[in-house]
Amino acid sequence: MLEKLTSRSMAANIRAAKKRVVFLGAGISLDIAEAIKSASDSIQAEDIIILTDTSPASRRLGYGDHQAILELYHYGVNIYELWDVRLAFCVVDDAAWVFAQVPELIEIRECKRGINCIKVLGDEVESLANDAQNLVKGTSLEGNTDNRVTPLFDRNRHNASLLTLKKLNKITLSLRDDPPQHFDLSRKIIAFNSRLEFVELKLHGMDIKKMRFNIPKELKPILIENKDDEGRFSAHFKIFDNNRKLASNNVSDKVFEVREVFLKPIGNLGRLIKTSDKKMFENELCAIRKEIEIRKNELKAFLQHEKDTSIESLISIFAERVRKSPPLSLKAENGTNKLSLSTVKDYLRRLINKQIPSIHDMIGSIELKCTYKAITYEMLSDVFFQKKVRELFPHEEWTLPYDEITVARKSEKNKKKSLPI
């Protein structure tokens, strides 16, 4: 039987219920909640089954009111979560109505005219009631400290979950931080989704052969005869011998390959990637980062050897010179100008170790950095830019580097306020 059903008329039917109320829908309005509370005063708890989408997303579309959920819960009515449900029905005693709910933040609250539901009678009423019961079969109070009564029919099934206080508070917080907003369909804006992004991909710290450190300032006077030149002198020491051979740098080669395959240069603007390629690109970067971690472990022994060799080389260069002309710090440390070679070497070793980077710092500097930068609408719509993009991606079916869509703005009036906790 075709009918026009409003939330007001449905609330009246629920309020008059004598033996049972079953409600399943995307949301619950305040007037329906008040009617269910009234019916629960005279009907057994197990004969009231409420299944609804309690998710914040459903509220933000305008399906029902979160305040209705709060009031029912705190009144002691069991509520079962059934997310993403959109078809609705209500069973009251021996009658039932099947209907489609309205997303009230987008459409008007209730239809003024027209048919919007089917009234069900006879055996189909029992079928709907049984379907609702089957959805809550197996739902238990495990983990729920409220000690509420809930039907337990078959613990092997768990299609709907009983709403707990912890879940309810989480939903309330989400809606408080990002409350539902009314949409004004009369006000429209143009939005766009870019098919491209700028990407900057850099591998840092992998060229370890170029690593160097400053010669300690205590040793500069030994290298410079004219003290007037000391302030102009800056000496560095390379940690690694140029003649030392390293294993093939597979990481650098892989980064170069990925950059050439996915990132297309567009003059001095940077490099572009298709958004459709980002997932594959990210997978390649993930593999490279794993390779970097393996490479770091392999480098530890090599770096330690080169560091020790560098220190010993510097000690052999400076030891005799330092013994003949010891720095003030060394003389003060030993209280004499007459120093043994072992004392000088120990001093130099400590001095250089303070200056040379640690293995952790050297390895820690190896890093793959990837930075995405959005493209403005002005650039995407620029004719010259579009021409260059077509040259870079000649096999793409799209003619423009973006999708353009029309959307409704949020209404500045009648915004829903944040919900209280």
Residue 162 has pLDDT above 70, yes or no: yes
3-state secondary structure of 118: strand
Residue 68 has pLDDT above 90, yes or no: yes
Residue 2 in contact with residue 115, Cβ under 8 Å?
yes
Closest CA to 234 of 218, 215, 210, 209: 215
Rounded-to-integer distance, Cα 24 and Cα 80, Å? 9
| DSSP state letters, 340-376 | -HHHHHHHHHHHHHHHSPPHHHHHHT-EEEEEEE---
Exposed, middle or buried: residue 184 (CB in 10 Å: 0-12, 13-18, 19+)?
Answer: middle
Rounded-to-integer distance, Cα 8 and Cα 32, Å? 8
Rounded-to-integer distance, Cα 122 and Cα 82, Å? 26
Confidence of residue 172 (pLDDT cuts 50, 70, 90): very high
Render the burial of 325-348: b for 16+ CB within 10 Å, e for the rest. ebbeebeeeeeeeebeeebbbebb
Residue 164 in contact with residue 140, Cβ under 8 Å?
no
Residue 416 has pLDDT above 60, yes or no: no
Q: If you count DSSP H runs as helices and E runs as strands, how many of each does the chain have, helices first? A: 14, 16
Instruction: Give pLDDT tens digits for 259-303.
Output: 999 999 999 999 999 999 999 999 999 999 998 888 888 778 777
Rounded-to-integer distance, Cα 39 and Cα 10, Å? 13
Rounded-to-integer distance, Cα 36 and Cα 75, Å? 10
Residue 414, beta-bridge partner list = none
> How many residues in the chain?
421
The pLDDT > 90 percentage for the chain reads 37
Beta strands, E only, 38-178: 48-52, 79-81, 87-92, 95-100, 117-120, 161-162
Q: What pTM did the predictor assign?
A: 0.45
Helix or strand (DSSP H, E) at 166: helix 165-177
Query: Which of 108-122, 166-180, 214-228, 302-316 has the least mean pLDDT?
Result: 214-228
Instruction: Report the mean per-residue pLDDT for the chain.
Output: 80
Instruction: Give pLDDT tens digits for 342-360.
Output: 888 888 888 888 878 777 7
In this structure, the number of other CB atoms found within 10 A of the CB of residue 265 comes to 12
DSSP 8-state symbol, 13: H
Q: What is the pLDDT of residue 308?
A: 84
Q: What is the pLDDT of residue 389?
A: 93
Compare 226 and 75 and report the one with higher pLDDT: 75
Residue 372 has pLDDT above 90, yes or no: yes
Rank 179-193, 232-246, 273-287, 293-307 by mean pLDDT and report only the highest. Answer: 273-287
Q: What is the pLDDT of residue 209?
A: 60
**Across residues 229-233, what is the average pLDDT?**
47
Residue that has been written with the tokens 């933040």 in this structure: 105
3-state secondary structure of 129: helix
Q: What is the pLDDT of residue 152?
A: 35
Helix or strand (DSSP H, E) at 312: helix 278-324
